[in-house]
Amino acid sequence: MSLVYSEEQRLLADTAAEFLQARSPVAAQRRLRDEGAAPRFDDALWKEMVGMGWSAIPFPEDLGGLAFGCMGLGAVFEALGRNLAATPLLSSIVLGGTLIELAGSGAQQAEWMPLLIAGDKRIALALDEHARHDPAATALRAERRDTGYVLQGEKVFVADGQGADAFVVVARTGGMPGEREGLSLFVVPAHALGLNVSATGMIDSRNHARLRLDGVRVDAGALLGVEGQAWTALDAALDRGRVCLAAELLGMTQNLFDTTVEYLKTRVQFDVPIGSFQALQHRAAWCYAHLQLARSAVMAGLAAMDDPTLDAAGRARLASLAKWKAGDVAHRISREAVQMHGGMGVTDELDVGLFLKRIRVAQALLGDGDFHVQRYGDMTPVEA
Amino acid sequence: MSTIEDFRRETRAWLEANCPPSMRTPMPDGELVWGGRTVEFRTEDQRLWFERMRDKGWFCPDWPAEYGGGGLSAEQNAVLESEMRRLHCRPPQINLGIWMLGPVVLEFGSEEQKRELITPMARGEIRWCQGFSEPNAGSDLASLKTSAVDEGDHFVVNGTKIWTSYGDKSDWMYMLVRTDPNVPKQQGISLLVVDMKSPGIEARPIDLISGKSSFCQVFFDNVKVPKHQLVGPLNGGWTLAKALLQHERRAMSKFGEFSLPNHVDLLSMAGRYLPPADAASTADVALRARVLAMAMDEHAYTITTQRMGEEMRTRQDVSGLMAIMKLVHSEQEKDKLEVLLDVMGHRALGWEDEAFDSSELALTRAWLGSFAQTIAGGSSEVQLNVIAKRVLGLPEGKQGK
C-alpha cells in the first residue's frame, strides 16, 4: 500500500489541475451558481472530462475501464476540490457505476457501463431518507408484485438527482429499518410512472434532489444483485465515494489554506502584514499540521480501496478515517479562513464563502464526522 | 561487479545469522543498551548483538571507515536500515554522541578531533550528554551565560547547565559556552567537549512531577578544559549548535520508531475500563466517542510517519512534514493521556500503592511525564514559530533582542 502518488498518478493530477484551472476555475462555478439552471454543472465540460478518460478510471478493463484505481480518482478529485468544480463524477461514476460493477449481472453491466463511461447517461444513488446519512436506516419498501416489485417511499438529498437518466434506489425488501439485512438495489428509470423528482436548493448551489416514489412498478430485471443482500456492494461503493469525497475536501481545504496564508502575507494593518502577528502565525501553523495529517489519512483511504490484501473491514476503517479527518480539518480551516480574512471573509465577493458552503455539504454527504467515528470504532478489532 | 541488490542480499544474510532472535522483539524502555565506558548488558544476546554490530562498524554505518564507521554509501545505509526494520532488529545501542555530536565533528572538527572523538564514538565506548539549556536560557538558547575564559592553553568554565539527560551517567559532555560577552549574543558562543570526570563538575538529578527522572542539572566550578577540546571556530558555536539541533530532530523521529511498540492502545483500554455498549450511559458513550476520535488522530499521525518515509525514499521535499512531527506527536501524547485519565477515573491517579496494578501506576507516571514532552527539545511554541516562518514563509514579527 503506497501513500504517495505514482509517476502516472502524478501526471494525471497535473493534467487535471491544468485542465480545471483553464476551463473550470472557481469563477466558472460562481457563474453556474448565478445562472441557477439544471443540471448545475457544465455538461459540455463533463463530456470533455469523459473524453480525457476520467469516467473510466476506476473500472476494470473488461468493463471498458482503465483499471487505474481509486488513487487515480483521488488525484482527480483533489484537483476538482481545488477548483470547486461541479461534475457528476462522484454520483454517476464512483457511486452509480461502482454499484453496477459490483452488484450488476453481466447483462446489466453490458447495458449500463458503456453508457456511463461514455457520459451518454447518468445514474444517481437514491439512498438517504433522513437529515443524517444512515444507510441501514433505509425504510423505503419494495414489495414483490406479480413478476416484479412495487416501490413506495421517499428519498432525500440525492446528489445529481435532477436530470439523472436513472436511479439506483436502495429499498427494503425484508427486515426492519436499522438492519443491514433485507436491503435491495433497484435500477429505476427517471421516467418511471409514479416517480417524482424535485430539486432541493442547498448552500453549495449544486444538484440535489428529492424523490417521491408512489407505487413505482419495476420488473425483476431492475433488481441489482441478490434480493435482500445489497449491503456488501452498497457499503463498498459508499466507501469508494467516501474516499473520493475526502480527496475533494482535501483539495478544497488546501486551496483555502494557501489563499489564507497568502492573505496573511499581504494584508497590512498597524503598518505590518497581519501574518507577522504570532497569534495568527500559530493558528496558521496548526492548520498546516492538521492539513498534513488529513493528507496522510486521505492517501491511506484511497490506497486502501485499491489494496486486495485488505478485508472489507480494513478498507472501511481507513475510508472512515479519511472521511472523518478530511472533514474535520476542512471544517477547522474553513472557519479560520473566514475569520482571518476579516470583514472580507463574510462577503460574497470573495471565494472563501463558496468553499465554506461546499465543504459543509461535503462533510454531511456519505456520513458526517460522528458517523465515521462510530464506524471506525465498529471496524477496529480491539487488542486483548 | 557488486550491485546494491548484492549488498541487500549479503546484509540480509548477515543480519539473519548475527542478530539474535531475542534482539528482534519490541524493546521495552528498560532494555535500552547505552554505549559508554562501562556498558550494562542485561542479557548475553544484548552483548553479542552490541559487539557484532560494533565490529562491523554499523553503530555508524555511513561514517568513514578510517574513523571506525561502516563506510557505507547513503544508498547502502538505506538498505541496511530497511533490512533491520524488516527483521525488527533492535538498535544495538543508544548514543547521543553518534546521533548528534558525531555528524557535527565530522563536518566541522579538526583531523585530530575526528580521530580522538569519532573513533571511540563509533565503537560505543563513550557515553555522551548534552549541555545546552540553562536555568535562564530555555527557548531563548542563545542567551546562555555559562562562561569559558581563555587562560592560555586551556579554558576555565563556570556556570550551570540544566535538563541534561543522564548527566550523572555520561562520560563526556558537548556543551555551548559563552566565549565573548561583548558581542551580539549569537556571535559569542563556542562549542566545547568536556570530560565529565574533570575536577569542578557536579551533576545532580532533578525530580519531576512524575518522580525520578534522567534529567540533571550540571554545575561547573572553575573547570579546566584544554584548548584542543574546542570544536569548530572560537565564537562560531551557534552555527554548530543549529546543525546539532537539526540532527536532534532527526534522532528523535528515529527514537520514536523504536519506542512505537510500547504505546498504550486506547481502544483496548476503553474496552477494559468502560462498560459494554448495552450498559453504557450517555456519559460513557460521549467518553467512548472521545477515545475513538483520539485513536483516529493517532492513526493519522502514524500514517503520516509512513508517508514521510515514502516521500523521503522517492526523494521529495519532506522539510514541511519534518517540522510538524515533534509538535503533533508530543501534543497528541498529552491529549491521549488526558483521555485515558478520564477513562480510568481514580484508577489513573494512584501513587506508590498496591491497590493499583503496575500498568495503572505506569500510566499515572506517563501522564505526568507527558507535560515535559511539549517543552523539551523545542517547545510547541518554538515548533509553531518554525512552521510559521520556515514552512509557511510568514513574515518576522517585532521581537525582543
Name every residue whose Cβ is closer than 8 Å to that of residue B137 and which is 6 or more positions away in sequence: B143, B144, B145
Residue B263 contacts A where some CB pair is shorter than 8 Å: no
For residue A380, which residues of chain B lie inside 8 Å, CB to CB?
267, 295
CB of A208 within 8 A of CB of A161? Answer: yes
* Strand, helix or coil for residue B142: helix
Residue B387 contacts A where some CB pair is shorter than 8 Å: yes
For residue B320, which residues of chain A lie inside 8 Å, CB to CB?
288, 292
Residue B85: band (very low, low, confident or very high) from pLDDT cuts 50, 70, 90: confident
Tally Cβ neighbours within 10 Å of residue B401. 5
Ranges of H-type helices in B57-204: 74-86, 96, 102-108, 111-113, 119-122
Q: What is the pLDDT of residue B253?
A: 58
Chain B nearest-CA residue for A7: B314
Fold of B128-236: Butyryl-CoA Dehydrogenase, subunit A; domain 2 (2.40.110)
Residue B312 contacts A where some CB pair is shorter than 8 Å: no
Amino acid at A336: E
Residue B208: band (very low, low, confident or very high) from pLDDT cuts 50, 70, 90: very high
Which helix (H) or strand (E) covers residue B250, if one does?
A: helix B237-259
Q: What is the pLDDT of residue B154?
A: 97
Residue B285 contacts A where some CB pair is shorter than 8 Å: no
Residue B297 contacts A where some CB pair is shorter than 8 Å: yes
Work out the mean pLDDT of chain A and round it to a whole number. Answer: 97
Distance from CA of A309 to the nearest CA of B (A): 18
Q: What is the pLDDT of residue B259?
A: 45
| Angle, CA A249 vertex, CA A243 and CA A252 arms, to 5° | 145
**pLDDT(B141) > 70:** yes
For residue B383, which residues of chain A lie inside 8 Å, CB to CB?
285
Residues of chain A predicted below pLDDT 50: none
Q: Is the dihedral of CA B356, B359, B365, B368 positive or negative?
A: negative
B34 secondary structure, DSSP code: B
Amino acid at A131: A
Cell of A95: 457511486
Residue B263: band (very low, low, confident or very high) from pLDDT cuts 50, 70, 90: low
**Which of B268, B292, B394 is the closest to A284 by Cβ?**
B394
For residue B381, which residues of chain A lie inside 8 Å, CB to CB?
282
For residue A295, which residues of chain B lie inside 8 Å, CB to CB?
307
Class of domain A7-90+105-120: mainly alpha
Chain B nearest-CA residue for A320: B296
What are the backbone angles phi and psi of residue B397, rounded to the nearest 5°?
Answer: -95, 180
Q: Which of A6, A265, A286 to mutate to test the interface with B (most CBs of B within 10 A)?
A: A286
| Helix A231-266 and helix A312-340, axial crossing angle in degrees, nearest 10 | 30
Distance from CA of B302 to the nearest CA of A (A): 9
Q: How far is CA B320 from CA A78, A259, A330, B304, B316, in A?
A: 20, 18, 19, 12, 11
Residue B96 contacts A where some CB pair is shorter than 8 Å: no
Q: Is the peptide bond before A39 cis (omega within 30 degrees of 0)?
A: yes
CATH code: domain A231-379 is: 1.20.140.10
Cell of A203: 448552500
* Strand, helix or coil for residue B148: strand
Work out the mean pLDDT of chain B and round it to a whole number. Answer: 91
CB of A226 within 8 A of CB of A185? Answer: no
Strands A123-126 and A166-172: parallel
DSSP string, B197-218: TSTTEEEEE--BTTBS-SEEEE
CB of B248 within 8 A of CB of B377? Answer: yes
Q: How far is CA A143 from CA A41, A148, A215, A315, in A?
A: 35, 8, 10, 33
Please count the residue pairs, one from chain A and one from chain B, whose beta carbons lie less than 8 angstroms apart: 118
Q: State the first-to-last Cα distance of chain A, in angstroms, to the nearest integer.
A: 27
Catalytic one of B248, B311, B338, B352: B248
Q: Which residues of A touch B (CB under 8 A)?
A: 2-4, 261, 264-265, 272-273, 275-278, 280-282, 284-286, 288-289, 292-297, 299-300, 321, 324-325, 370, 373-374, 376-377, 380, 382-384
Question: How many residues are listed for chain A in this entry?
Answer: 384
Distance CA B146, CA B219 (A): 10
Q: What is the pLDDT of residue B261?
A: 41
**Which of B293, B296, B303 is the closest to A3 by Cβ?**
B303
Distance CA B392, CA A261 (A): 7
**For A144-178, what is each residue's pLDDT tens digit?**
999 999 999 999 999 999 999 999 999 999 999 99
For residue A373, which residues of chain B lie inside 8 Å, CB to CB?
289, 292-293, 296
Chain A nearest-CA residue for B265: A383
ipTM of the complex: 0.95
Reduce the secondary structure of B170-194 to three states and give it as a string.
CCEEEEEEECCCCCCHHHHEEEEEE
Phi-psi bin for A227: left (phi > 0), alpha (psi -120 to 50), beta? beta
Determine whether B40 is an active site residue.
no
Distance CA B193, CA B191 (A): 7
Name every residue whose Cβ is closer than 8 Å to that of residue B375 and which is 6 or more positions away in sequence: none
CB of A158 within 8 A of CB of A126? Answer: yes
User: How many CA within 13 A on the CB side of residue A150?
Assistant: 8
Q: What is the pLDDT of residue B346?
A: 97
Residues of chain B with CATH 2.40.110.10: 128-236
**pLDDT(B251) > 70:** no
Longest distance between any two alpha carbons in chain B, whole Å: 79
CB of A109 within 8 A of CB of A208? Answer: no
CB of A375 within 8 A of CB of A354? Answer: no
User: Does A299 sit within 8 Å of B385, measured CB to CB?
Assistant: no
Which of A226-240, B24-38, B79-93, B243-257 is modeled with the greatest confidence? A226-240
pTM here is 0.89
CB of B78 within 8 A of CB of B37? Answer: no
For residue B384, which residues of chain A lie inside 8 Å, CB to CB?
281-282, 285-286
Q: What is the pLDDT of residue A137?
A: 98
Q: What is the pLDDT of residue B30?
A: 75
Residue B307 contacts A where some CB pair is shorter than 8 Å: yes
**Which of A272, A273, A281 is the closest to B388 by Cβ?**
A281
What are the backbone angles phi and psi of residue A180, rounded to the nearest 5°?
Answer: -80, -30
Name every residue whose Cβ is closer than 8 Å to that of residue B12 and which is 6 or more positions away in sequence: B83, B86, B87
Chain A nearest-CA residue for B396: A276
Amino acid at A365: L
| Angle, CA A355 vertex, CA A251 and CA A38 arms, to 5° | 105
For residue A294, which residues of chain B lie inside 8 Å, CB to CB?
300
User: Does B321 sit within 8 Å of A282, measured CB to CB?
Assistant: no
CB of A220 within 8 A of CB of A176? Answer: no
Ranges of H-type helices in A41-103: 43-51, 69-82, 98-103
Q: Is the dihedral of CA A238, A240, A246, A252 positive or negative?
A: negative
**For A281-296, what is each residue's pLDDT tens digit?**
999 999 999 999 999 9
Distance CA A48, CA B102 (A): 58
Cell of B228: 584542543
Question: Within the 318-357 window of chain B, which residues sit less than 8 Å (CB to CB) from chain A?
Answer: 320-321, 324, 327-328
Q: What is the pLDDT of residue A216?
A: 98
Fold of A124-224: Butyryl-CoA Dehydrogenase, subunit A; domain 2 (2.40.110)
User: Does B314 sit within 8 Å of A296, measured CB to CB?
Assistant: no
Q: How far is CA B369 from CA B49, B361, B365, B383, in A?
A: 31, 12, 6, 19
Comparing B265 with B311, the larger pLDDT belongs to B311
DSSP string, A315-374: HHHHHHHHHHHHHHHHHHHHHHHHHHTHHHHTSSSSTHHHHHHHHHHHHHTT--HHHHHH
Domain ranges of chain A: 7-90+105-120, 124-224, 231-379
Distance CA B317, CA A5 (A): 14
For residue B392, which residues of chain A lie inside 8 Å, CB to CB?
261, 281, 284-285, 288
Superfamily the domain B263-391 falls into: Butyryl-CoA Dehydrogenase, subunit A, domain 3 (1.20.140.10)
Amino acid at B120: P
Q: What is the pLDDT of residue B377?
A: 80
